[in-house]
Chains A and B, each alone.
Chain A
Amino acid sequence: MEDSVPMSAIVTLSDVKKDYPLGKLTVRALKGIDLTISTGEFTTIAGPSGSGKTTLLNLVGCVDVATEGVVTVAGQETGKLSDRELTKLRLHKLGFIFQSFNLIPVLDMFQNVEFPLLLQGGMTKAERHKRVRDIVDRVGLTDQLRQRPNELSGGQRQRVAIARALVTKPQIVLADEPTANLDSATGSSIIDLMKEMNEQDQTTFIFSTHDPHVMERAGRIVKLVDGLVVAG
């Protein structure tokens, strides 16, 4: 089946450069990245600390814009979009998994997962609840529906975050070091879960990691060194 699905580009970067102001200097974090990621890929961005992994993911995640070059996400050139349009793009096409989970502490697990659907609007309560229950089932947390984030373990929190990222059925899920705050066994189960979601829904996953064990599981490894792609 994999071979019969036409592979279309969902993310493209061409000659992307990113500068950060640092006092009077500027730091060039990305120095001309050319990269194409196709629908359904399970890609990891690897590289030493400071190589630009986070910077790259931020650009793809539409939370930052390139200094030079063109970033296209889900068919839209992000450099040309307003804040409002970028917000909409993030809400409807992207899902985020954060290193420190970033759940809303005052909402329980169910509400955290439901939240992006409420922002999207247009669903009945029943539809919404079914969607939340299904995804919570899939990440294996059916018994913790009413627990607040601080009552969950790190691994459980990251599962909630995965559910939140996937509940809107986004085209791309981005994760910057999703396992960095987890022990290796838990981290490994999180990657398994992500992989499972990727295979079942053809959702594109792009994540960064330092962990060689995690890297092994990726379908594709894009290696960054000093702001440039050196492999993948």
Chain B
Amino acid sequence: MGILFQIAVRNLIAAKRRSAMLGSALAAVTLLLVVLLSLSQGITDNMIRSATALSSGHVNVAGFFKMSATQSAPIVSDAPRIREIVKENVPGAVHVNARHRGWGKLVSESGSLQAGFNGIVLAEEPLFSEVVQLAKESEYKEGGRDEVIGDLSGLSQPGSVLIFASQAKRLEVGVGDALTITTETLRGNRNTTDVTVVAIGRDMGFLSNWSVFLPRETILDLYGLKPETTGSVQIFLEDEAQSEATMAHLRGVLEAEGFILMEHQAVPFWAKFENVNNEDWTGQKLDLTTWEDEVSYLTWVVRGLDTISFFLIAILVFIIAVGIMNTMVISVRERTREIGTLRAVGMPRVKVLWMILIEALVLGAVASSVGALAGAALCLGIDAAAVEVPSDAVRVILLSDTLHLVVVPRQIATAIVVFTAITGLASLVPAFRASRLQPITAMQSI
């Protein structure tokens, strides 16, 4: 087999132009695939990071409380007990926190907007402080200073609020300005409170457009809630891949503890109000979700990108496969007499088949490796360069201001293996033809 490999490699080198052309086409498609995969992975990564920082744990125990058949609130009435149960039954949890939820209006002197409220205890939110970056004043204010004003720690004081840059622009407010919050309470009363903007975060796409963050006490006051309530107990796991399993396990435990659970629905909590309001029950029901459920309205971005990538790559691969097939057919035809000679001196058919296959496989492996590695390098470069995303709409979808690409070595390896295999498959026909060449062709002297 060593000699077959040598013959194959040397024939590839001998047909320099042809190998180079086919090789670069294959390398280019591999590169494109790696970039698309890394982009998809980058968006997914952003999504997990922003979702888990802004609106979800890896697993959430939330719930609805209904005062009457038609009125529901996103409330868990006995948070301490649930936290206790989580602590005892989820050994893989690295962190647990609780957040209140609400919905209402933010009003400034020059504008207003609707937003979801998150009541947080800053001290128990290490990830939040890590992921939310503060915007420079110039990012939300015409002629603003090129520096960050305010800081997150202000959120530990009651009556404070963190908003995001695009909200600050619309409301025309800066750090230190006051906002009025209006909401409806559980009982349907209108309630109002004044808060001070203590920090303005950088936009994080979809997720930050609709969210503001307040200290927990402010939410409790606003809605007149008891201190043992919360909106959602968020559980962060050592291994996020365990989210589904952990949720399933917790469901069993909570049911055994006597809680009533809603059926699992893979949508975020705010998409459930309508159903819940139409259901004929009162009191407390718990609702467990994973982070993927909470951002399910965003996963179409990744799915869409993946689908487009798949078809694009499939078409390109098909074209290249046809190219490989043709090239190998030509290559075999040019070497008819040589192959005939090999057969005449005693080379079995199967070795001829392998000789041609190896030639294609070597070309495929080298070209796709070069393409994949170049693609990986390109992705790492783009990621490191923190290239600004030009369009606002695209930023919202990508959940980031800058292009984020994540190179997954396993994907690179898979791309190389798959492309090499495709090259091999494409050359099966010419290889088979070569193996059927008659030794007598060696005798024909031209």
Q: Taking beta carbons and an 8 Å cutoff, which residues of A are in contact with B?
A: 54, 57-58, 61, 63-64, 83-84, 87-88, 90-92, 94, 96, 98-100, 102, 104-107, 111, 114-116, 118-120, 164, 176-177, 180
Q: A83-B349, A99-B445 are in contact. Are A106 and B10 (CB under 8 A)?
A: yes
19 A-B pairs in the complex with CB atoms less than 8 angstroms apart: A63-B439, A63-B440, A87-B349, A88-B346, A90-B344, A90-B345, A90-B346, A91-B345, A91-B347, A94-B346, A96-B344, A96-B345, A102-B337, A102-B442, A104-B341, A105-B338, A111-B6, A119-B348, A119-B351
Across chains A and B, the number of contacting residue pairs, with CB separation under 8 Å, is: 82
Chain B residues with Cβ below 8 Å from A92 are 346
B241 interfacial contact with A, CB 8 Å: no
- In the assembled complex, the Cα of A105 lies from the Cα of B376 at a distance in Å of 38
Q: A63-B440, A87-B347 are in contact. Are A104 and B7 (CB under 8 A)?
A: yes
Chain B residues with Cβ below 8 Å from A64 are 440
- Which size class do B's interface residues fall under? 20 to 34
- In the assembled complex, the Cα of A64 lies from the Cα of B438 at a distance in Å of 9
Chain B residues with Cβ below 8 Å from A100 are 445-446
Chain A residues with Cβ below 8 Å from B438 are 63
Q: A115 to B3, Cβ gap below 8 A?
A: yes
Least CB separation from A103: chain B residue: B341
Chain A residues with Cβ below 8 Å from B11 are 106
Chain A residues with Cβ below 8 Å from B58 are none
Task: Fill in one digit per residue for B1-28: 1 if any A CB lies within 8 Å of its CB, else 0.
Answer: 0010011001101100000000000000
Q: Taking beta carbons and an 8 Å cutoff, which residues of B are in contact with A?
A: 3, 6-7, 10-11, 13-14, 337-338, 341-349, 351, 438-440, 442-443, 445-446
Partner of A119, one of B13, B14, B347: B347
Cβ distance A135 to chain B, nearest Cβ, rounded Å: 14
Q: A63-B344, A115-B345, A116-B346 are in contact. Are A102 and B338 (CB under 8 A)?
A: yes
Q: A118 to B3, Cβ gap below 8 A?
A: yes
Least CB separation from B14: chain A residue: A106
- In the assembled complex, the Cα of A57 lies from the Cα of B13 at a distance in Å of 35
- In the assembled complex, the Cα of A84 lies from the Cα of B347 at a distance in Å of 10
Q: B346 to A91, Cβ gap below 8 A?
A: yes
- In the assembled complex, the Cα of A120 lies from the Cα of B351 at a distance in Å of 12
Q: A107 to B338, Cβ gap below 8 A?
A: no
- In the assembled complex, the Cα of A98 lies from the Cα of B440 at a distance in Å of 11
Chain A residues with Cβ below 8 Å from B446 are 100
Cβ distance B334 to chain A, nearest Cβ, rounded Å: 11
Chain B residues with Cβ below 8 Å from A57 are 443
Q: A164 to B345, Cβ gap below 8 A?
A: yes
- In the assembled complex, the Cα of A58 lies from the Cα of B338 at a distance in Å of 17
Cβ distance A91 to chain B, nearest Cβ, rounded Å: 2
- In the assembled complex, the Cα of A90 lies from the Cα of B341 at a distance in Å of 11
Q: A102-B338, A115-B345 are in contact. Are A96 and B440 (CB under 8 A)?
A: no
- In the assembled complex, the Cα of A120 lies from the Cα of B347 at a distance in Å of 9
